[in-house]
Amino acid sequence: MQATKKKIAIPARKSNKRLGKSSKLGNFLVDELRGMYWTEKRMLKSLPKSAKGSTTAELKAILDNHCLATKGHVTSLDKVFILIGRKAKAEKSESMSGLLRNVRKATRLNGSRSMTHDVDLILASQKVEHCKIASYNAMVHIAKTMGHPDVAKILLSIADEERTAACMLSLVGESTANVAVSLERD
């Protein structure tokens, strides 16, 4: 006898489009969104500087492309705030602030334009991207749980773009690190 797969119906949650102000999970989501909004806006300022300070054209192109994507992330987050009926407001994220500080430090150190400093810039940037991926993924699940599939879809799209940026940084980082090691041996 063959086992039959039963589909389990999960009831759709009703959403009144707005997040209740008394909802602890809703308030948590709003706080996280505001922290990421702050982060994305800060990145709009730091990515062009990082791109300008990079040694290789390949890294510069990745950072320039991610700056364009980041502009889209800010616009997408504006839409999310509208969908949940909350004001789009940036609130400083202490954890992201520390990671972005590392990127600024790596950018300043890269004044010498060495491959080793590019490796430092890539590593600092990857840390930011991975933290953003984790944050967006968590917010996707919260939005789904709260009955906001439209919000979840937007946040998932941003997370996917962040994953792409992280992968691109990994690829260029691998080749940059190899060049840096070979140059340091000479």
Domain-located, residue 15 = no
* Position 74 in a domain: yes
Please compute the mean of the pLDDT values over residues 1-27 and round it to a whole number.
57
Are 59 and 176 a contacting pair, CB within 8 Å? Answer: yes
Q: In the predicted model, what is the mean pLDDT of residues 21-44? A: 91
Single out the residue of 29, 34, 36 nearest to residue 147, CA to CA.
29
CATH number for the domain that contains residue 44 = 1.20.1260.10
Q: How many domains does the chain have?
A: 1
Can you give the residue range of the structural domain that contains 71?
24-185
In a domain, 67, yes or no: yes
Is 3 inside any structural domain?
A: no
Q: How confident is the model at residue 173 (pLDDT cuts 50, 70, 90)?
A: confident
How confident is the model over 126-151, as a mean pLDDT? 95
Q: Is residue 5 part of a domain?
A: no
| % of the chain with per-residue pLDDT over 90 | 52
Q: How far apart are CA 40 and CA 149, in angstroms?
A: 22
Note the pLDDT tens digit of each residue in 53-88. 888 889 999 999 999 999 999 999 999 999 999 999
